[in-house]
Chains A and B, each alone.
Chain A
Amino acid sequence: KAGVTQTPRYLIKTRGQQVTLSCSPISGHRSVSWYQQTPGQGLQFLFEYFSETQRNKGNFPGRFSGRQFSNSRSEMNVSTLELGDSALYLCASSPSGEETQYFGPGTRLLVL
């Protein structure tokens, strides 16, 4: 089976812009979670989707949002980018969310 894929792999944006990141889970996996990794805060949970519904949300401002499509692919959006949003964004998938999570290669976002 193909692993979790994320696009794009690298992205450079300027403050105030918005960005959309995409994640395709392993075939058959219905749960997709998103994490942000920064040197200062480490790995932090953003949100999790299952069957097109957000089931869990981390402590991030409303500028961070996401959605999941009927084929389980997920997107996350960050509006009004700030310098502090520069990070590695990782998505993970699992069959139902209660098992081992498998991570994609990540999207590196740089905000200038």
Chain B
Amino acid sequence: GIQVEQSPPDLILQEGANSTLRCNFSDSVNNLQWFHQNPWGQLINLFYIPSGTKQNGRLSATTVATERYSLLYISSSQTTDSGVYFCAVPNMFSGGYNKLIFGAGTRLAVHP
């Protein structure tokens, strides 16, 4: 089945720093989602981005579907950005869109 790899696994930043998180996937996909899991476990939708670039405040994401990767940019990081960031793609070879395959996540800690 499709493989999803995220890097780096861990990231420590000082408040105000910028960062780039990467998500590689092994097969063609027609959508990709980025999530932020807060310390209480809730997965918060960040982006639904099958291709191209989207921006939402200090966060932006770019997916290059032909090269099978997506990037999540966090600018001017804040302590509230801490948590785990996941990318997920649908397992289209096994019944589809609604069966998300998650990467292992990038654990981000932002210190004041």
Chain A residues engaging chain B, CB cutoff 8 angstroms: 31, 33, 35, 37, 42-45, 48, 50, 55-56, 58, 88, 90, 92, 94, 97-106, 108
Q: A92 to B33, alpha carbons, bound, how many Å?
A: 13
Of B35, B86, B98, B105, the most chain A CB neighbours within 10 A belong to B98
Q: Is the interface of B mostly helix, strand, loop or mixed?
A: strand
Q: How far is the CA of A104 from the CA of B43 in the complex (A)?
A: 7
Are B48 and A56 in touch, CB under 8 angstroms?
no
What residue in chain A is nearest B48 (Cβ atoms)?
A: A100
- Chain B interface residue count, CB cutoff 8 Å, equals 24
| Partner among A43, A45, A105 whose Cβ is within 8 Å of the Cβ of B42 | A105
- The reply to whether the CB of B91 lies closer than 8 angstroms to some CB of chain A is yes
Q: Kindly identify, within residues 91 to 112 of chain B, every residue whose CB is under 8 Å from any CB belonging to chain A.
A: 91, 94-105
| Secondary structure of the A contact surface, majority rule | strand
A-B contact list, 20 entries, CB within 8 Å: A31-B98, A35-B102, A37-B41, A45-B91, A45-B100, A45-B101, A56-B99, A88-B41, A90-B41, A90-B43, A97-B97, A97-B98, A98-B97, A100-B48, A101-B98, A103-B43, A105-B40, A105-B41, A105-B42, A108-B41
Give chain B interface residues in 46-103, CB to chain A under 8 Å.
48, 86, 88, 91, 94-103
